[in-house]
Amino acid sequence: MPEVEVPLEKWTGKVNEVRLGGNGRQAVVVGGEATFPFLQFEGAIPNRPAVAIEVLDVQPTGWPSQLAAAWGNVLADPALWAKKAAEYGADIIALRLKSAHPEEGDTGAEEAKKTVDKVLAAMDLPLIVLGPEVAEKDNIVLVAASEAARGQRIALGNCEEKNYRTIGAACIADGHVAIAKTPIEINLAKQLNILLCDLGVSPESILMDPTTGALGYGLEYTYSVMERLRLACLTGDGMTSMPMICTVGEESWRQKESKSDIEVPATWGELEQRALIWEEMTASTLLNAGADIVVLRHPKTVEAIKATIDKLMG
């Protein structure tokens, strides 16, 4: 074999390290990369990408049967579900306060606080709490979650341009991490980080959610935005240096390729395997685009993606 000289880039920037948990809970640190994903020969990658498992605060409706069956009875209880998710190898639990959505129960601050308390007590992994993605309700339940988890350094999502002040202020007050979500747009992603930092949130307390498009549903746009954000970060742009989180499970399990077995071409193959591949492909692609946290739904995908990360980390 002839000697081949591997071309190396010299980067000036690196991703911020963000710690979740600690203070009695397990701690997970994400970020810190000084190169593009998994290019250990070029720069330091001090932390593995983390796998979070999504837990809903209400029994999911409309989930494909194989996804529901993989969890069974625990779906009715977020605390049991979170405990089970920890057993299945989650690094982080991502609790979605779906019941706060005006059309899903419209629960408020009290219920949110109770659920967060219960889930925190059921396992010792770091926690992400996600609102129902209705800005006014996010403000109410995420502030309650923030107070309930004071000192536990959870991540709160999502901060959007509309409500970043409220969530950002809660993160500052209670020592949490803000998840800044923007709609697959690189300039807006940077802008929201600037706004959060102006508010006083430290850059080491921000994660970016670039908005995930699943395989076949905008994955390449998400990939491109993440790649360009990471390039800007590595070339020294401090306002794009936040680790990135992708809500993979939620996006891939709602596509018809993951749900439908009737009136689809035979070449699509068998549903059960196809659906798992959909989530896995979306996750592994975005890990290669620079995702620091992927939020997944199916235990088998978790197993497969953790194995992939093991191999890529060498």
Partner 1 sequence: MISIGECIHVISSNVRTAIEGRDKAFIQDMARRQVEKGAQVIDLNIGPQKKTGVEVMGWMVETIQEVTDVTLSLDTTNAAAIEAGLQACRKRAFINSTDATPERLTALMPLAAKYNANIIALSLAATGLPTSADARIELASEYLLPAAMEQGVPMENVYLDPLVLTVNGNQDQTLATVEAVRFFKQMSDPPPMTTCGLSNVSNSCPPERRPLLNRVFLVMMMGAGLDSAIVDPLDDELMATIGIIEARDDSTPKGKLYLALYDTYAEGGAFDASGVDMSDPELRDIVKTVEVLENKTLYAHGYLRV
* Binding residues vs partner 1 (CB under 8 A): 185-188, 190-191, 193-195, 198, 228, 232, 237-240
CB 291, min distance to partner 1, A: 19
Q: Are 125 and 114 contacting, i.e. CB atoms less than 8 angstroms apart?
A: no
**Which CB, 108 or 203, lies closer to partner 1?**
203
Give the nearer residue to partner 1 in terms of CB position, either 135 or 195.
Answer: 195
Write the single-letter amino acid at 221.
Y
Nearer of residues 134 and 197 to partner 1, judged by Cβ? 197
In the complex, least distance from residue 203 CB atom to partner 1, rounded to whole angstroms: 11
Cβ nearer to partner 1, comparing 72 with 236: 236
Q: CA of 155: how far to CAs of 43, 93, 224, 270, 277, in Å?
A: 27, 10, 25, 37, 28
Q: How far is the CB of 187 from partner 1 (least distance, A)?
A: 5
Q: How far is the CB of 290 from partner 1 (least distance, A)?
A: 15
- What Rg do the C-alpha atoms of the chain give, in angstroms? 19
**Closest distance between partner 1 and the C-beta of residue 16, in Å?**
15
Nearer to partner 1, 239 or 275 (CB): 239
Contact 289, 37 (CB under 8 A): yes
Measured from the CB atom, the residue of 50 and 239 that comes closer to partner 1 is 239
Helix count and strand count (H, E) for the chain? 11, 10
Which amino acid is residue 32, in one-letter code? G
In the complex, what is the shortest distance from the CB of residue 168 to partner 1, in angstroms, rounded to a whole number?
14
Cα 289 from Cα 248, distance rounded (Å): 13
Nearest Cα residue to 206 out of 235, 236, 182: 182
Fill in the amino acid letter for 242. M
